[in-house]
Amino acid sequence: MKTIKGPAIFLAQFVGDKAPFNSLKNICKWAADLGYKGIQIPTWESKLIDLKKAATSKSYCKDLKGLVNSYGLEISELSTHLQGQLVAVNPAYDVMFDAFAPKEVKGKPKARTKWAVQQLMYAAKASKNLGLNVHVTFSGALIWHTFYPWPQRPQGLVEDAFAELAKRWLPILNAFDKAGVDLCYEIHPGEDLHDGVTFERFLEKTKHHKRCHMLYDPSHFVLQQLDYLAHIDIYHQHIKMFHVKDAEFNPTGRSGVYGGYQDWVDRPGRFRSLGDGQVDFKAIFSKLAQYGYDGWAVLEWECCIKDGEQGAKEGAIFIQDHIIKVTEKAFDDFAGGKSDKKLNKRIMGL
């Protein structure tokens, strides 16, 4: 067993134009003052990182790490959630996902995909240059619009879609392998990799690529009504990253899993700040410790009620209180002794 690292915080929901969220220096001081030990950096935020420069300049990465370390922090991981989303986009979502792309490729799906792939290639090298061994992204989605089988899906559609998805990602996975970095897909509704079965489909199509792993976020499983504890039992060997995010599911006679197109605050399934939802984090931290997860516990704040700064302040304490310092010896060692084969035979009556 190993002790989880943390607390860390994903900065995507906090970056902005006002201090202390307007520069890496300022946001590091803010996070450190709250008690965080690590930061997860969204690579699309130019206020925090120049991804291309991080991929091509070791001196830039040395300075970047030095700045973060000067506040008593570490970079836990880099994130390419938005760029990964654009690796695979169904035309039905072109207009909305263009918001994630730079202006020079907006309205140009092929150019947008090429740009996204290059971003992932940069991320592999940047992670290596920063001394990181894991990275998080989204898979994108070619058939999410068919997740409910009505109208009926044509025979072979799912098979063909996952073959195409793997085809797009295999060169990226190979780049991450060359860099010595595991690529973790956040298992998330809206992505073709949104539960255990879809992850398995993708893993099979990549021929069980050794760098293909997952980020575990129980909040997305609460909203899907998936057993998030059993998920750890099944996939613990693939769980290389962990977003600590709470959620709740309160179905009514009027609305359930699909939410009725309502705003977040009115949906039966909604994200909450840590401790305000229904997720059993004591059980989660216990299971991850049991299976030897030694990565970071990273707060991802998304709450439809509580202010983000309050959520971040409370989240650092919440995560710290849940991290289990694993034992180095069995509780009943005092009653044991060295192996004695003769004694064992006597006990067995032999």
Per-block average pLDDT, block size 10, for the chain (350 residues)?
95 97 98 98 98 98 98 98 98 97 97 98 98 98 97 97 98 98 98 98 98 98 98 98 98 97 98 98 98 97 97 98 88 71 91
Q: Tell me 80's DSSP state.
A: E
pLDDT for the residue 338: 78
pLDDT for the residue 1: 84
> In the chain, how many H helices and how many E strands?
13, 10
Q: Assign 3-state DSSP to the chain and report helix, strand, coil percentages, each to 5.
A: 45, 15, 40
3-state secondary structure of 250: coil
pLDDT for the residue 328: 79
pLDDT for the residue 121: 98
Tokens of residue 28, six digits: 């590091």
Cα–Cα distance for residue pair 144/140, rounded to 1 Å: 9
The partner residues of 247 in beta bridges, in order of sequence, read: 271
3-state secondary structure of 176: helix
**Does the 5-347 domain belong in CATH 3.20.20.150?**
yes
3-state secondary structure of 34: helix
pLDDT for the residue 331: 65
Tokens of residue 317, six digits: 């304490």
- 28-34 long-range CB contacts below 8 Å, 24 or more apart? 28/67, 28/68, 28/70, 28/71, 28/73, 29/71, 31/71, 31/73, 31/312, 32/71, 32/72, 32/73, 34/9, 34/312, 34/313, 34/316
Q: HSE, CB side, 13 Å, CA atoms: give it for residue 77.
A: 31
pTM of the model: 0.95
pLDDT for the residue 120: 98
